[in-house]
């Protein structure tokens, strides 16, 4: 039995596949060693949308760490343990292996890993803040966030400045724990940032990820979710605002390999300007053993001007019929002239009306996140971004 | 005294086989304090007139003039027209996802009044206006027109009318789709604005029903893209009795 259900949208492709090879999007097996991956040439499934020539050598071994390429600062409420450890630390690499050449390059090249541990049962009243500030150099990074059983934490990772960075971020989420991570890519428009985010979700644990990408010349993020035990829940939210000349790529993979886990994905992007390029890949695999899975993924794009391009590829592979639900939606639309007219007919000038519509488009997603003061801050960020850009 | 003057207005839309003329020479003058009912069969061009006055980009003016106190309305952008005092209550109000009613109203009032209304008085003003229209306070937190019932959409339009206080109000089938209660509430809202004596009203409708609540000074029959006959309130009674047939026969087909 094979069925293919194409998704709607002009620059959108997608399918629900049954019984397809699970590694269809990966050209080499996962490995910690960069030498196990051939240098990509751009024809591989996982590289075909990426402008390799703009990766500044992160993909072919020519990028060399400059030392002090980025400055990392961590501030955490009392009780949280913040460490810098060697690569032999047992927690490093525990969530999963790098799955592409750049992630493996980062893994092979980093010197010290940052580890933030939230002890068992701790409920943090303040977020942990990790600031990654680019200082113009090349850096390979590794960060682990470990949340003990039944602990609850919010971690905010802010990326600013200019740098060429490849990194791995691991989230180890203990049984019954709740982790919310906000990763903001607010880079200068010259930065190059490629990272794999791997979350390993414990029994009945909850992982909420909010990825916000505004800046960078090239940003290529690869959030991955694995379930270590039944009852886990992942909510992955994302928003991006892709301006003229920017390439912003978000490639998600959720591996439902464990029964009775849930995942919900919602990513929204707005694009404007010539050669603004957004790529969204949503791979969800429901393995034969993952009965009782409930998953939904959505990607929406709003194209504000001519010359911008979106590639949106949801992909759901289902190997068991014993599931609660599985679905996806992907749509890419042009700016709604009727909305603009309605607002302008109430005296609101065109540029302000456009900002309101785009803000509303993102606000719809932000309203779903369900962490009140976070929502406020994200809306402020959106406002600032919209204020700064022409639209 | 504010006066809207429409003279020999011709408007086309882009259809599959090229431009198609919908309005074929509309002449109408609406003065502040007056209420004009425009009545006509479906497809006669009533909404086209309303949208053209508001400046919807889909409609191309191919001839004629529209002035508000001598100012060329057709030269203004959509938002300029609104700020000049033209208000269109739409037949089909548009959903704006993620934008709350309260944010929308305040942004709009700020644009129309030229300065942000003082927060305290504004909150009170909106609250009272909503109460008069029997709208639940929670309404303000909903997204504009999203999931609104037909009646809620029309109340929301009239709420804006009351808050924005235009010189010329164009109400496009505000009555359609309303039950008797909602029709009464919405009509009362329109009448409150009319009683100020500061608005000229263009009441577009297909049915005579709303004229029981809102008494027009003038009634115009709209057919085939122009005004076919004008008269006083008695013309509405004639239409109620005889329908539009006499006007449709006279060459409504495009
Ligand atoms: N965008 C459009 N393209 C083609 N025809 C249109 C368009 N808009 C309106 N029309 C046509 O113009 C005529 C008048 O429409 P409308 O102004 O909506 O009439 P009314 O409001 O009186 O029912 C109708 O025949 C309608 O089909
Ligand atoms: Mg109409």
Q: Which site among B53, B58, B78 would you substitute to test the A interface, given the most A Cβ atoms closer than 10 Å to its Cβ?
A: B78
Handedness of CA B13, B19, B20, B22 (dihedral sign): positive
Residues of B in contact with A378 (CB under 8 A): none
Q: Which of A347, A357, A361 sits opposite B83 (nearest CB)?
A: A347
Q: How many CB atoms lie within 10 A of CB A390?
A: 12
- Residue A30 confidence class, pLDDT cut points 50, 70, 90: very high
- Residue B253 confidence class, pLDDT cut points 50, 70, 90: very low
In angstroms, what separates the C-alpha of A182 from chain B's closest C-alpha? 21
Q: Which of A306 and B249 is assigned the larger pLDDT? A: A306
Mean of all residue pLDDT scores within chain B: 94
Give the number of the ligand closest to the Cα of residue B48. 1
Domain assignment of residue B198, given as a range: 3-252
Share above pLDDT 70 across residues of chain B, in percent, rounded to a whole number: 98
- Closest C-alpha among A249, A243, A166, A177 to residue A207: A177
> Residue A104 to residues A23, A266, B33: CA-CA distances in angstroms?
17, 27, 75
Q: Under 8 Å CB-to-CB from B96, ≥6 apart: which residues?
A: A339, A342, A343, A356, A357, A360, B104, B143, B144, B145, B146
pLDDT at A235 over 90: yes
> Residue B103 to residues A357, A370, A380, B132: CA-CA distances in angstroms?
12, 20, 15, 20
Distance CA B147, CA A354 (A): 22
Question: Domain holding B100: CATH number?
Answer: 3.40.50.300
pLDDT per residue as tens digits for the range A109-137:
999 999 999 999 999 999 999 999 999 99
pLDDT at A3 over 80: no
Complex ipTM: 0.96
Least confident span in A238-247, A306-315, A382-391, B87-96: A382-391
Residue in chain B closest to A368 (alpha carbons) equals: B98
Least confident span in A49-63, A240-254, A269-283, A375-389: A375-389
Q: How many CA atoms lie within 13 A of B234 on its CB side?
A: 1
- Residue A172 confidence class, pLDDT cut points 50, 70, 90: very high
pLDDT for the residue numbered A337:
86
Residues of A in contact with B103 (CB under 8 A): 356
Distance CA A183, CA A198 (A): 13
Average pLDDT over residues A370-388: 83
Of all protein residues, the one whose alpha carbon is nearest to atom 1 of ligand 1 is B13
pLDDT at B233 over 60: yes
pLDDT for the residue numbered A25:
56
Does the reported pTM lie above 0.80? yes
pLDDT per residue as tens digits for the range B168-225:
999 999 998 899 999 999 999 999 999 999 999 999 998 899 999 999 999 999 999 9
Paired sense of beta strands A309-318 and A277-286, if any: parallel
Residues of A in contact with B87 (CB under 8 A): 345
Give the number of the ligand closest to the Cα of residue B173. 2
In angstroms, what separates the C-alpha of B144 from chain A's closest C-alpha? 10
Of all protein residues, the one whose alpha carbon is nearest to atom 4 of ligand 1 is B15
Number of domains chain B is built from: 1
Q: Which of B57, B97, B143 sits opposite A341 (nearest CB)?
A: B57
Least confident span in A27-31, A48-52, A148-152, B174-178: A27-31
Q: Under 8 Å CB-to-CB from A274, ≥6 apart: which residues?
A: A244, A245, A307, A308
Contact B88 A345 (CB under 8 A): yes
Average pLDDT over residues B44-49: 97
Mean of all residue pLDDT scores within chain A: 90
**What ligand 1 atom has the least distance to the C-alpha of B222?**
22
Average pLDDT over residues B85-94: 96
- Residue A334 confidence class, pLDDT cut points 50, 70, 90: confident
Q: With beta carbons less than 8 A apart as the criterion, state whether A162 and A132 touch.
A: no
pLDDT for the residue numbered B27:
98
Q: Hey, where are the domains in chain A?
A: 10-337
> Residue A76 to residues A73, A103, A125, A150, A320: CA-CA distances in angstroms?
10, 27, 10, 18, 42
Share above pLDDT 70 across residues of chain A, in percent, rounded to a whole number: 93
- Residue B246 confidence class, pLDDT cut points 50, 70, 90: confident
Residues of A in contact with B104 (CB under 8 A): 343, 346, 356
């Amino acid at each position: 039995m094979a069925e293919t259900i194409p998704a709607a949208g002009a620059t959108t492709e997608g399918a629900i596949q049954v019984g397809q090879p699970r590694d269809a999007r990966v050209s080499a097996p996962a490995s910690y060693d960069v030498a196990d991956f051939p240098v990509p040439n751009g024809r591989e499934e996982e590289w075909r949308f990426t402008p390799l020539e703009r990766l500044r050598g992160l993909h072919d071994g020519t990028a060399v760490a400059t030392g002090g390429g980025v400055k990392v600062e961590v501030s955490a409420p009392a009780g949280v343990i913040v460490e810098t450890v060697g690569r032999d630390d047992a927690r490093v690499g525990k969530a999963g292996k790098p799955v592409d050449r750049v992630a493996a390059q980062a893994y092979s090249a980093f010197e010290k890993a940052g580890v933030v541990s939230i002890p068992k049962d701790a409920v943090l009243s303040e977020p942990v803040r990790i600031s990654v500030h680019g200082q113009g150099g090349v850096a390979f990074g590794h960060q682990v966030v470990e949340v003990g059983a039944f602990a609850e934490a919010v971690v905010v990772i802010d990326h600013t400045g200019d740098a060429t960075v490849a990194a791995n971020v691991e989230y180890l989420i203990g049984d019954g724990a709740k982790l919310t991570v906000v990763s903001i890519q607010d880079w200068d428009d010259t930065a190059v940032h490629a990272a794999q985010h791997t979350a390993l979700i414990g029994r009945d644990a909850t992982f909420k990820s909010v990825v916000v990408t505004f800046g960078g010349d090239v940003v290529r993020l690869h959030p991955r979710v694995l379930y270590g035990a039944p009852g886990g829940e992942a909510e992955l939210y994302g928003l991006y605002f892709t301006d003229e000349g920017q390439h912003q790529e978000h490639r998600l993979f959720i591996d439902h390999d464990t029964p009775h886990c849930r995942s919900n994905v919602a990513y929204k992007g707005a694009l404007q300007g010539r050669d603004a390029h957004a790529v969204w890949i949503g791979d969800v695999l429901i393995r034969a053993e993952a009965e009782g899975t409930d998953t939904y993924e959505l990607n929406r794009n709003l194209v504000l001007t001519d010359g911008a391009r979106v590639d949106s590829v949801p992909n759901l592979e289902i190997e068991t019929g014993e599931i609660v639900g599985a679905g996806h939606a992907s749509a890419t639309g042009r700016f709604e002239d009727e909305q603009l007219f309605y607002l302008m007919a109430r005296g609101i000038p065109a540029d302000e009306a456009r900002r309101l519509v785009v803000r509303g488009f993102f606000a719809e997603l932000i309203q779903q996140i369900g962490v009140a003061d976070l929502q406020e801050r994200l809306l402020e960020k959106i406002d600032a971004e919209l204020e700064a850009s022409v639209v | 005294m504010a006066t809207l003057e429409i003279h020999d207005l011709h408007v086309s839309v882009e259809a599959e086989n090229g431009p198609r003329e919908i309005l074929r020479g509309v002449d109408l003058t609406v003065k502040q304090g007056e209420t004009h009912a425009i009545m006509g069969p479906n497809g006669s061009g009533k909404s086209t007139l309303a949208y053209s006055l508001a400046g919807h980009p889909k409609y191309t003016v191919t001839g004629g003039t529209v002035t508000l106190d001598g100012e060329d309305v057709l030269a203004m952008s959509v938002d300029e027209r609104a700020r000049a005092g033209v208000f269109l209550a739409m037949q089909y109000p548009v959903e704006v996802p993620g934008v709350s009613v309260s944010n929308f109203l305040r942004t709009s009032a700020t644009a129309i009044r030229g300065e942000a209304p003082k927060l305290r008085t504004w909150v009170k003003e909106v609250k009272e206006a909503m109460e008069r229209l029997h709208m639940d306070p929670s309404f303000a937190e909903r997204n504009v027109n999203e999931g609104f019932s037909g009646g809620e959409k029309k109340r929301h339009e009239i709420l804006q009318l009351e808050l924005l206080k235009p010189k010329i109000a164009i109400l496009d089938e505000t009555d359609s789709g309303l039950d008797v209660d909602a029709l009464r509430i919405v009509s009362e809202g329109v009448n409150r604005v009319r009683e100020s004596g500061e608005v000229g009203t263009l009441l577009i409708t297909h049915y005579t029903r709303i004229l029981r609540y809102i008494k027009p000074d003038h009634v115009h029959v709209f057919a085939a893209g122009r005004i076919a006959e004008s008269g006083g309130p008695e013309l509405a009674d004639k239409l109620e009795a005889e329908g539009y047939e006499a006007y449709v026969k006279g060459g409504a087909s495009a």
